Structure 1
Amino acid sequence: MKASWKAGVFAGLVLPTSMMILAACGGSGDGAETAAVDADPAMVEAAEAREEGFKSLGRNFKTIKDNMDAGNAASDAALAAIDEVEVLADDLPNWFPEGSGPETGTDTEALPAIWEEPEAFQGKISDFQAAVTELGAAGESGDAAAISAAFGNVGKTCGSCHDDFREDD
């Protein structure tokens, strides 16, 4: 039973006030503003929705980790978070439409390599989704040790993708 996250997060978002202000001001400045003004508003929204999706993943990962640390890996909260991670992982490939990268002028950590090497990037997404599927199965089993091991594997797939496709923090 997967939680329902609005997969339509990419549709119906409005440009933040800052982007509208940049557009109204003509975007003069350091070039990033010009890129934002010239960017397709739908791609700006996609980049911002992608960031929200990753924040949601992070919140759910934190819930799982906090429960594991407290000795409650199979708690209702942890299992609900695992369900939500499964939903988000299913939608993840939709978070990277062509044109939603740095060219949007948004503060994205997505590297151009995502769109330059789509097969390699899709491979990383597939690895992540497979690890999340294992986490879901572990959650359904209620076995705390299995949840912990599967959660560790999910973390490894995240880090692997970040190595090649995400700007360093």
Structure 2
Amino acid sequence: MIRTLAPRLVVSATLAGLLAACSSEAPVDAPAAAAEPAVIEERQDNFEAIGDAFKAVRGELEKDAPDFTLIAAKASDINTRAAKIEGHFPAGTSVDDGFDTEALAAIWQKPDDFKAAAQKLVGESAKLASLAGKGDKAAVGAQAMTMGGACKGCHDNFRLDDKK
């Protein structure tokens, strides 16, 4: 009887150990993972909205008769959102800090350059909003390209390009 009971106990103990190892609960003494700061989601949402507004501007400029009122509104939205960029990057919220973000450490290493890049978008989006009110498709198109260059300049220097 002892011979047949021993293998069953070994199998039972092994299964119990495997089940415990597969448990999703962390050990009591394991440190909790750092929660992602809310500001990261806020800035990602802000940039997504800027991108959506810029797509709308480009879409209008592809038309024979663009809606300049819509372009002005989208450019104003970009301008308002661009003014918030600097405040969305507190220290310790980069990809190097372990967060799911495309923010490079260069933002904090070169704060004056980052501030200048953000301000360039503020200025260029304000110009686009102003020009849209005049209804000149060529001028608005040229300014939209300039504003897009402001976006690209910041992306080139301060954003992780994981598509390379």
8 A Cα contact 1:74 1:144, kept in partner: no
Corresponding residue SS for 1:110: coil
Identity %: 28
Distance 1:104 1:48 in 2: 15
- Asked if structure 2 preserves the Cα contact closer than 8 Å seen for 1:110 and 1:165, the reply is yes
Q: Match of 1:93? A: 86
Specify the alignment match of 1:45 in structure 2: 38
Relative to the length of structure 2, the TM-score reads 0.73
Aligned mates of 2:150, 2:127 — CA distance in 1: 12
Residues 104 and 154 of structure 1: is their aligned pair in 2 closer, same or farther, counting only changes over 3 Å? same
1:68 maps to 2:61: yes
Q: How do 1:7-86 residues align onto structure 2 when only pairs under 5 Å count?
A: 26=26, 37-39=33-35, 44-86=37-79
- Pick from 106, 111, 114 the counterpart of residue 118 of structure 1: 111
Consecutive unaligned residues of structure 2, counting only runs of 5 or more, are: 1-23
- Structure 1's unaligned 5+ residue stretches are 1-23, 28-33
Write the distance in 1 (CA, Å) between the matches of 2:51 and 2:25: 35
Note if 1:128 corresponds to 2:124.
no
Write out per-residue CA displacement over residues 89-112 of structure 1, whole angstroms, 9 at most, x where no aligned residue: 122221212222225543211101
SS at match of 1:107: coil
Change beyond 3 A, Cα 1:25–1:81: farther
Q: What's the offset of the Cα at 1:38?
A: 2.5
With over 3 angstroms needed to count, the CA separation of the structure-2 counterparts of 1:45 and 1:142, relative to structure 1, is same
Give how far 1:127 is off: 1.7
Native 8 Å contact 2:76 2:126 kept in 1 = no
**Alignment TM-score, normalising by the size of structure 1:** 0.71
What is the root-mean-square deviation in Å for CA atoms of aligned residues? 2.4
